A = this chain, B = another copy of it.
Amino acid sequence: MNNTTNNRYSVILGNLGNTCDRFLSSGYKEALPKNEMVRQAAAIPGIEGIELVGSWDIREDNVAEVAGLLQEHRLTCVSIIPDLFSQKRWGNGSFGAKDPEIRAQALEETRSVARIAQSMGCPLINLWLGQDGYDYPLTADYRRQRTDLMEGIRVVASEFPDLRFALEYKPKEPRTHSFQARAADTLLMAIETGLENVGVCIDVGHSLMAGENVAESAVLLQHHGKKLFHMHFNDNYRTWDDDMIVGSLHTVEYFELLFWLRESGYAGWYSMDQYPYREDGAAAVSESVAFLQSVEKLLTPQRFEELRELIAKGDATASTRWMRTLMFDRA
């Protein structure tokens, strides 16, 4: 357990752009050109990496251009997220769709993104299969569709053994139920592929929304073969994916999470994933990174040792007092 390494922070590029919802589909702000978004991202203190979304940000026809843009701003491409959710054809799913033709297209789309990743030296494909799920009782085949989903991932991940594939779970939205809904069921699917290069991505907001203790989910994934491949950060009120500024609501929980990420040997990026609908995007992301850096700074080797002792002891009053003193009463 090395607890002195510095965390590396990144951001999903789209966080800097316009954001819409179903009531205001044109978005709450104005769209920015891609190079301006990259410039703003690079200017955020602490940000060293970028996540791109396929088709929105990057396609086979603009790889050189985007790669150049990132290089110019000394940004690493941390992951690419295939667009398997924002087109009409994916409306009823991608890898887990009932239509075999759609499943074939999902495979093709992911292969394309994987090739892009290889060509850019990007080591991770982050799969968020938001449309793969169901809405109503008596409409989904939980056996068949789950198996199809797993098979699709197995096929593409086995074709690109030099890339890692992180499965990002979320209990609902846009479907009322996702097939990859929680940490443990998604881990089961990753294990079922039998492949070393398939793991899980925790989006903190998705985990809160699923009723999980995020730190416990991280430990669970690491316990089963270091399967925590990636982390997305944001905050919410625990009932929905509000995609708010990191630490705007959960403080103790974030403190515990950052302790356990290090304690369990998580070595990936700390990536921001927000929807600053009504906020200045760069400012909101900047504040998120600042929150995580504040916590990181307070997690000194001595406090790390104190936390280990508190956890071993398990005295709720003592742990609460320690945290309160740190936040509100420290010298």
Please encode chain A, from 1 to 44, with 1 for each CB lying within 8 Å of some chain B CB and 0 for all others: 00000000000000000011111111111000000000000000
- Inter-chain contacts of A87 with B (CB < 8 A): 24
Chain B CB count within 10 A is highest, among A23, A26, A173, for: A23
Chain B's closest residue to A171 (CB) is: B211
Chain A 225-260 per-residue mask, 1 if CB under 8 angstroms from chain B, else 0: 000000000001111101011011101110110011
A-B contact pairs, 17 of them (CB 8 A): A21-B173, A23-B174, A25-B25, A25-B27, A135-B244, A135-B316, A138-B259, A139-B316, A139-B319, A141-B311, A174-B277, A177-B213, A188-B224, A238-B238, A239-B239, A248-B316, A248-B323
Contact assessment for A91 and B22 in the assembled complex, using a CB-CB cutoff below 8 Å: no
Number of copies: 4
Mask, A290-330, CB within 8 Å of B = 1, is 11001101100000000100111011110111111001110
- Give A187's nearest chain B residue, CB to CB: B188
Other-chain residue from B24, B138, B242, B284 in contact with A176 (beta carbon distance below 8 A)? B242
Count of residues in A whose CB is under 8 Å from the partner chain: 105
Kindly identify, within residues 127 to 145 of chain A, every residue whose CB is under 8 Å from any CB belonging to chain B. 130-131, 134-143
Residues B323 and A138 in contact, CB atoms below 8 Å apart:
yes
* Chain B residues whose CB sits within 8 angstroms of the CB of A136 once the complex forms: 244-245, 248, 316, 319-320
A262 close to chain B: CB less than 8 A:
no
> Is B184's CB under 8 angstroms from A219's CB?
no
| Further contacts, 19 of them, CB under 8 A, given A92-B314, A142-B260, A249-B252 | A19-B22, A22-B22, A23-B85, A24-B174, A27-B88, A135-B277, A136-B244, A136-B319, A137-B249, A139-B310, A176-B237, A176-B240, A188-B220, A237-B238, A247-B324, A248-B320, A291-B324, A295-B328, A327-B327
Give the top 8 A-B pairs by smallest Cβ distance, nearest first.
Answer: A184-B184, A184-B185, A294-B328, A138-B319, A142-B219, A136-B316, A327-B327, A248-B320
B184 & A137 in contact (Cβ 8 Å cutoff): no
Contact B317 A245 (CB under 8 A): yes
Q: Which of B26, B91, B247 contacts A320 (CB 8 A)?
A: B247
* A297 contact set on B, CB distance < 8 A: 328
Whether A172 sits at the interface, judged by CB under 8 Å, is: yes
